[in-house]
Amino acid sequence: MTLPRTIVFDLDGTLVDTAPDLIAALNYVLDREGLPPVPFESARSMIGAGARKLIERGLEVDGRVTSADDLNRLTREFVDYYADHIADASRPFDGLEAALDELAAQGCRFAVCTNKLEWLSKRLLDQLDLSRRFSAICGADTFGIAKPDPIILQQTVARAGGTIGATIMVGDAGPDVGVARRAGVPVIGVEFGYTDVPIAELKPDRLIGHMRDLPAAVEGLRKAPPPS
């Protein structure tokens, strides 16, 4: 495998520690419904499948079942609040920018493939001065498809100007490993993200515990023999 020209990242729990602001928005919506807040550590593992799923999981904690219309309303309220507070406490994971600098110097390009809405993803990355680093930023609404459907990854790579055969996926949870496997792309798992199933159990091709380890993981995949 030659050095991948495109490295595609998940956003929440991979590039940026967004949990504080996502959980604040969730608990804002729950409070408006007269429900107690979800504790931080419990809510952290609920992140990763988009706002609607996060709200569904938050309601389930209190045993609440809601109608589709109410869930749509709550999702709108969540998005409105979250958009105004999207970078109050969210920050890039330690070592991210140095890792991107090192990989960019080796000729890699970068893209984001997330189940977050595209405009929210861009707003977050704009506020953190990270958008300029990515050739494409694609969300679940960009193509009307969410991870783990491989089409979202294939289309993200195409939009970034890359080829799927020269791509690596980096993510923190099942949808990231799943989309990579379905697209035939190697995947690096990060241990510091948000997942209800430990990332190691999902058997990514490489596993890292800090962003400083990302360039070495990419290099390891470059040198790995092709699958038999």
| Residue 23, helix vs strand vs coil | helix
Rounded Cα distance between 76 and 70, Å, is 10
The class (CATH top level) of 6-17+91-223 is alpha beta
Protein fold of 19-84: DNA polymerase; domain 1 (1.10.150)
What is the per-residue pLDDT for 4? 66
Strands (E), 65-219: 91-92, 109-113, 136-138, 167-171, 187-190, 206-208
What is the per-residue pLDDT for 45? 85
What is the per-residue pLDDT for 222? 82
State pLDDT tens for residues 119-169.
999 999 999 999 999 999 999 999 999 999 999 999 999 999 999 999 999
What is the per-residue pLDDT for 224? 73
Percent of the chain residues past pLDDT 90, beyond the cut: 86
Q: Which amino acid is at 169?
A: M
Reported as a pLDDT band with limits 50, 70 and 90, residue 228 is very low
For residues 82 and 71, the answer to whether their CB atoms sit within 8 Å is no
Examine the pLDDT at 192 and tell me if it is beyond 80.
yes
- State how far the alpha carbon of 84 is from the alpha carbons of 25, 61, 65, 79, 195, in Å: 10, 26, 27, 9, 25
Q: 114 exposed, middle or buried (CB, 10 Å; 0-12, 13-18, 19+)?
A: buried
Give the CA dihedral 6, 124, 142, 104, nearest 10 degrees.
-10
Name which of 198, 185, 96 is nearest 147 in CA terms. Answer: 185
Q: Which of 10, 12, 149, 213 is catalytic?
A: 10
**Angle of the 68-84 helix axis to the 19-32 helix axis, nearest 10:** 130
Angle at CA of residue 168, ends 122 and 101, nearest 5°: 60
Query: Domain limits of the chain?
Result: 6-17+91-223, 19-84
Average pLDDT, the chain: 94
Q: Which amino acid is at 179?
A: V
Q: Do domains 6-17+91-223 and 19-84 have the same CATH topology?
A: no
Q: Which residue has the higher pLDDT, 64 or 3?
A: 64
What is the per-residue pLDDT for 16? 98
Rounded Cα distance between 126 and 135, Å, is 13
Percent of the chain residues past pLDDT 70, beyond the cut: 96
Q: Please indicate whether residue 10 is annotated as part of the active site.
A: yes
| Residue 11, helix vs strand vs coil | coil
Rounded Cα distance between 45 and 148, Å, is 18
Examine the pLDDT at 103 and tell me if it is beyond 90.
yes
State pLDDT tens for residues 31-77.
999 999 999 999 998 887 788 999 999 999 888 888 899 999 999 99
What is the per-residue pLDDT for 3? 57
Q: Indicate the pTM of the whole model.
A: 0.92
Reported as a pLDDT band with limits 50, 70 and 90, residue 226 is low
